[in-house]
Structure formats: structure tokens, C-alpha cells
Amino acid sequence: MNLRERVEEAYSRPQSGAPSAGDRALFRTFMDELNAGRARAAEKSGGRWTVNAWVKQGILLGFRLGVLTDYSVDDRFVFYDKDTFPPKAIGIGDGVRIVPGGSAIRDGAHIGRNVTCMPPMYVNVGAYVDDGTMIDSHALVGSCAQIGRRVHISAGSQIGGVLEPVGSLPVIIEDDVLIGGNCGVYEGTVVGAGAVIGAGTILTGSTPVYDLVHDRILSRSGDGPLTIPPNAVVIPGTRPIQSGPGRDRGLSVYTPILVKYRDEKTDRSVQLEDLLR
């Protein structure tokens, strides 16, 4: 059997007693593939992102196989986790900048070359962070999130994780996207290449986005993701409540607004500096 078939078989098999040495070895092989970026929780094929449920099954298998372990540095820096999910081992040859100050990357996350990690930040298991991306202070890349090349995740922003259900698409941030400060991207949202998400914007599958350029509403269709088009510029806004006491009181609810698509002025204002990488 190939790795996928072996993971699916181990995941579906009820565990009785202590984990076997064979299952532990299988999980280590699986984690090596995650770290190398050869196994991914989602991949783009034919212009569409599809979830690899078996990869999520492999991660969940690790929680089943693991035992709680003391990873404390000293008496003042105490933490415990499953022994199957230690901190990621990164060497100087990996070409990743991790600035001192309390950042953490879990094993099983792929971190590309020339990625910059500003403290404190966190990358969870199953995440894929491609080359040249910057993860700024107090930012989170959740489990299985897929981050493209040259993405800037600004300070305080949260890229949500989608590990369960295993068939659900994780959050996707494509190449050359700028995520402004204190943003949140959740529930399997796909942000197209080159998009700019303005500071404070929250994107979820249950919140419609108003596209003022094309006079349309972007929303999730069925089980599909909310998709932000390539090069879109999205900022936080409000829309009035149309009925009931909310309308009578003149109240509004939050909504993201697509105000334009990238132009030369936008490109100048969000240009990334290669010197930082």
C-alpha cells in the first residue's frame, strides 16, 4: 500500500491497547512528508482547491497515538503536549528567519525558504507556508491552512485552522496576498492571488461580501468556500438591518466590502521589500 492507503487503514482501525511500533513508524513517515511539503491538506488542481481528507486523518491519527510528554524548557517555561507533536526542528540550512521572542512552530508544518517569523507567532500542524512569506507578530496560522508565496500576514491577524471535519476545506491564502493587521480569515475561506485584505477585516463562510465593483454579493455556495477574487481589495464595513427592531432603531451589522481591484496606487502602498527576506 502507498502512504495514503496505509494512513487511511490505520485511521479506520479501532485502537486497542498501546499503539504499535508499526503505527508509530508510519506516523513518523507521514510527518516527514508534511514537513517537506510533499503531503498537503489541500491542493489546487484544474483551477480548484480540493481537500486531501487522508492528510487530516493522518494528523488526527497522531493525536490517538501520542502520549502526553513534558516539553518544558525549565521551571518557568513549562508546557506539555503529545509526544507525536513536538516543536518543529528547523536548522540554519532551512533558510527560515525566526526572530527571538517567543514564536512556536509545531512539527508537521511546512515552512518554505525565506519565510520570516516575527515574535510571537504560531504555526500549527498541517499548515503549509510557502517561500518568501512573512508572518508578523501575534499572528496565527491555524492547522492545515495553506499559505502561498510572498504573502504578508500582518500583526495580530488570525488565519483559522480547519482540522475537523476531515472533509472540510481549510483556509487558503494564495500567492502575493496582503493580510492587514488584526484580520481574521476563517471557515475554509479562499483568498485569491494578489488580494489585499484591509486591516480589521473578518472573512468567514457565513458572512457575505459586498462587491461594489460588480454590484454583486459574494457568498458561500452549498458546501463550497467563500472565495475572494484575485486582486480584490476588501475592507471592513456595515450594512443596515432591513427589518424588525434593528431597522427601527437604525442599526447595522458588520460586512466586508470589496471596494476595488488592485491598481498601481494599491501596488505602491502594499509593495513588499525583498530586502526584508
Domain containing 56 — which CATH number? 1.10.166.10
Residue 276 pLDDT grade (very low, low, confident, very high; cuts 50, 70, 90): low
User: Residue 229: which pLDDT band, with cuts at 50, 70 and 90?
Assistant: very high
Instruction: Report the DSSP beta bridge partners of residue 258.
Output: 211, 234
174 found inside a domain: yes
CA triplet 17, 22, 26: central angle to 5 degrees?
115
Over range 45-50, report the average pLDDT. 92
The mean predicted confidence, pLDDT, of the chain is 93
Task: Count structural domains, the chain.
Answer: 2
Instruction: Evaluate whether 163 touches 56 at the Cβ level (below 8 Å).
Output: yes
246 in any annotated domain: yes
Average pLDDT over residues 243-264: 92
Of the three residues 29, 51, 68, the one that is the final residue of a domain is 68
**122/60 same-domain check:** no
**Judgement on whether residues 104 and 222 belong to the same structural domain of the protein:** yes
Same domain, 223 and 181: yes
pLDDT of residue 165: 86
With a cut of 80, say whether residue 16 has pLDDT above it.
Answer: no
DSSP-assigned letters across all residues of 108-173: T-EE-TT-EEPSS-EE-TT-EE-TT-EE-TT-EE-TT-EE-TT-EE-TT-EE----SSTTS---EE
pLDDT average, residue stretch 16-45: 94
Q: Is residue 182 part of a domain?
A: yes
Which of the two residues, 5 and 165, has the higher pLDDT score? 5
74 alpha carbon, distance to own chain's centre? 30
Least reliable range by pLDDT among 13-22, 68-77, 181-190: 13-22
Q: Which domain holds residue 63?
A: 3-11+19-68
Sign of the torsion angle spanned by Cα atoms 175, 176, 179, 181: positive
Kindly indicate the confidence band of residue 180, based on its pLDDT and cuts at 50, 70 and 90.
Answer: very high
Identify whether 276 is part of a domain. Answer: no
Q: Is residue 189 part of a domain?
A: yes
Confidence of residue 186 (pLDDT cuts 50, 70, 90): very high
Indicate whether this model's pTM tops 0.85: yes
Average pLDDT over residues 237-254: 92
User: In this structure, are 143 and 224 located in the same domain?
Assistant: yes
67: pLDDT strictly greater than 90 = yes
> Does a structural domain hold residue 190?
yes
Q: How confident is the model at residue 223 (pLDDT cuts 50, 70, 90)?
A: confident
pLDDT attached to residue 264: 76
Per-residue model confidence (pLDDT) at position 275: 61
201 plus 249 within the same structural domain: yes
| 98, part of any domain | yes
Neighbours of 70 (CB within 10 A): 9
Co-location of 30 and 105 in the same domain: no
74-133 residue pLDDT tens: 988 899 999 999 999 999 999 999 999 989 999 999 999 999 999 999 999 999 999 999
Q: Indicate whether 171 and 64 sit together in one domain.
A: no
DSSP H helix total and E strand total for the chain: 5, 26
Region label for 264, one of left (φ > 0), alpha (ψ between -120 and 50) or beta (otherwise): alpha
Residues 57 and 119 grouped into a single domain? no
Query: In the predicted model, is pLDDT for residue 153 greater than 90?
Result: yes
Are 101 and 39 members of one domain? no
Higher pLDDT, 265 or 109: 109
- Find, among 161, 160, 195, the residue nearest to 179 by Cα: 195
CATH code of 169's domain:
2.160.10.10
Based on the domain organization, do 46 and 99 belong to the same domain? no
* 27 domain residue, yes or no: yes
Q: Are residues 170 and 216 in the same domain?
A: yes
Contact 8, 57 (CB under 8 A): yes
pLDDT given at position 274: 65
Whether 99 and 38 share a structural domain? no
- Can you give the pLDDT at residue 87? 94
pLDDT at 272 over 70: no
